Amino acid sequence: MQMLNVVLIEDEKDLNELICLHLMQEGISVQSFLDMPDLEEVLHEGRVDALIVDRNLPSGDSIKSIQKLRKLGYEESVIFLTAKARQEEVFEGFEKGCDDYICKPFEMKELILRLKAMMRRKLKNRLQYGECVLLLGERECFYEGKSVSVSGLEFELLRCFFENKNETLSRQFLSESVWKNDTTSDKTINIAITRLKQKFPFLKEKILPIRGLGYRLC
C-alpha cells in the first residue's frame, strides 16, 4: 500500500499528539489541527487520503463541515472520532458523510487497523494520476477534488491509461480495451485522445504519441 496521507482534527492536545505519534510510527503522513481548518484549502494543498475528525470541536459539531464537503463533491474518507456515542448520533454520522465512526475511549491499534482496512477497500475502487481520480464502481471522475462529467468512452480511455502508466499502448490494444473491438480506425482513436486532452489540458504533455506504435502515459 502506498504511503497514506491523513488529516487529523482533534482539539485535545495530548490526544492529538499521541494519535500523530502512532500514525507516524506506522509510516503514515499526518497533518494535524486543533480545530476545524478551511478543509477545501487543506485538500487543495496536497493529496489527502483520509480525515480523522473529532465531532466536538471548539468551533462546533464538525459534522456540518463534513456534510458541506460531501455536497461539494469531495470523496476523501472520513473517520469520526468522538464521545457522541448514542445510537442516533452514530446513525447521523454515517448519514451525513462519514465512512467509519469510533467512539471514545478507544484503542489506538483499533484506530490504525480501521484506517488501513478502510483505505484498502477504497484503493481497490480507485485509480489516480496526479490530481485526476477515477472511482471505478461509481464510474465517476474527479479533477482537483471536483466532479468532472465524462462520457463512457472518455472514462474507459482514462482508465486504460491510468492502469498502464509508462507503458506503450498500441492502437489495437486501445481498440480492444476501450472500444471493445479490434477494428477501430487509427483516426477514430487519435480524435478521441485529442478530445480527451482538450478536456484535461494537463494530459497534453503526459499522453505522448509513440511513432509507429501507439501512445504512452508518462
**Model-wide pTM > 0.75:** no
Question: What band does 1 get if pLDDT is binned at 50, 70 and 90?
Answer: very low
Predicted confidence band at 144 (pLDDT cuts at 50, 70, 90)? confident
The number of domains in the chain is 2
Same domain for 108 and 13: yes
**147 & 114 share domain:** no
Last residue of a domain, one of 124, 159, 180: 124
Same domain, 109 and 23: yes
Q: Are residues 83 and 56 both part of a single domain?
A: yes
Q: Are 182 and 208 within one domain?
A: yes
The DSSP code sequence of the chain is: -PPPEEEEE-S-HHHHHHHHHHHHHTT-EEEEESS---HHHHHHHS---EEEEESEETTEETHHHHHHHHHTT---EEEEEES--SHHHHHHHHHTT-SEEEESS--HHHHHHHHHHHHHHHHHTEEEETTEEEETTTTEEEETTEEE---HHHHHHHHHHHHTTTSEEEHHHHIIIIISSS---HHHHHHHHHHHHHHSGGGTTTEEEETTTEEEE-
Q: Mind listing the pLDDT tens digit for each residue in 44-100?
A: 877 788 999 999 999 999 999 999 998 888 888 999 999 999 999 999 999 999 999
For residues 47 and 132, membership in a common domain is answered with no
Indicate the residue among 107, 124, 141 that finishes a domain: 124
pLDDT tier for residue 159 given thresholds of 50, 70 and 90: very high
Average pLDDT, integer, range 196-218: 93
Examine the domain organization and report whether 120 and 54 are in the same domain.
yes
Q: Which domain holds residue 139?
A: 128-217
183-196: per-residue pLDDT in tens?
A: 899 999 999 999 99
Is residue 121 pLDDT above 90, yes or no? no
pLDDT of residue 146: 83
CATH of the domain at 202: 1.10.10.10
pLDDT of residue 2: 57
Angle in degrees, 0-180, between the axes of helices 108-124 and 13-25, rounded to the nearest 10: 60
Question: Residues 117, 25: one domain?
Answer: yes
**pLDDT tens string 20-29:** 999 999 999 9
Tell me the pLDDT of the chain averaged across its residues.
91
Residue 74 and residue 19 in one domain: yes
Answer with the one of 99, 124, 149 that is the final residue of a domain. 124
DSSP per-residue codes, 63-90: HHHHHHHHHTT---EEEEEES--SHHHH
Q: Are residues 155 and 78 in the same domain?
A: no
Instruction: Quote the Cα angle for 51-52-58, to 5°.
Output: 110
> Same domain, yes or no, for 205 and 135?
yes
Are both 159 and 114 inside the same structural domain? Answer: no
What's the CATH code of the domain at 61?
Answer: 3.40.50.2300
Confidence of residue 38 (pLDDT cuts 50, 70, 90): very high
